[in-house]
Amino acid sequence: MKRLTLLRHAKSDWDDPAQRDFDRGLNGRGKRAAALIGGHLRSGGAVFDAVVASPALRVVETLAQVELGYGRTLGAVWDRRIYLASAVTLLDVVQELPSEATHVLLVGHNPGLEDLALWLVPESDEAPRVALGVKYPTATIAEIVFDGTWRDLAPGAARLTRFVRPRDLDPTLGPDAD
Structural domain span for residue 130? 2-172
Q: Within a domain: residue 178?
A: no
Number of Cβ atoms within 10 Å of the Cβ of 143: 23
Q: Within a domain: residue 128?
A: yes
Q: Are 101 and 3 in contact (CB under 8 A)?
A: no
In the prediction, which pLDDT does 177 show? 45
The CATH number assigned to the domain holding 73 equals 3.40.50.1240
In the prediction, which pLDDT does 86 show? 98
Q: Within a domain: residue 25?
A: yes
Q: Within a domain: residue 177?
A: no
In the prediction, which pLDDT does 12 show? 94
Q: Are 126 and 24 in contact (CB under 8 A)?
A: no
In the prediction, which pLDDT does 176 show? 52
CA-nearest of 111, 118, 120, 176 to 145 is 120
The secondary structure element, H or E, covering residue 50 is strand 50-53
C-alpha 11/C-alpha 27 separation (Å) is: 6
Residues of the chain with pLDDT under 50: 177-178
pTM attached to this predicted model = 0.95
CA-nearest of 106, 114, 107, 105 to 87 is 114
What is the DSSP secondary-structure string of 81-106?
GGTT--HHHHHHHHHTS-TT--EEEE
3-state secondary structure of 6: strand
Q: Are 2 and 135 in contact (CB under 8 A)?
A: no
CA-nearest of 33, 41, 37, 40 to 10 is 33
In the prediction, which pLDDT does 149 show? 97
If one counts the domains in the chain, the total is 1
Asked if the peptide bond before residue 171 counts as cis, ω within 30 degrees of 0, the response is no
Q: Within a domain: residue 38?
A: yes
In the prediction, which pLDDT does 178 show? 46
Q: Within a domain: residue 138?
A: yes
Q: Within a domain: residue 141?
A: yes
* Cα 57 to chain centroid, rounded: 15
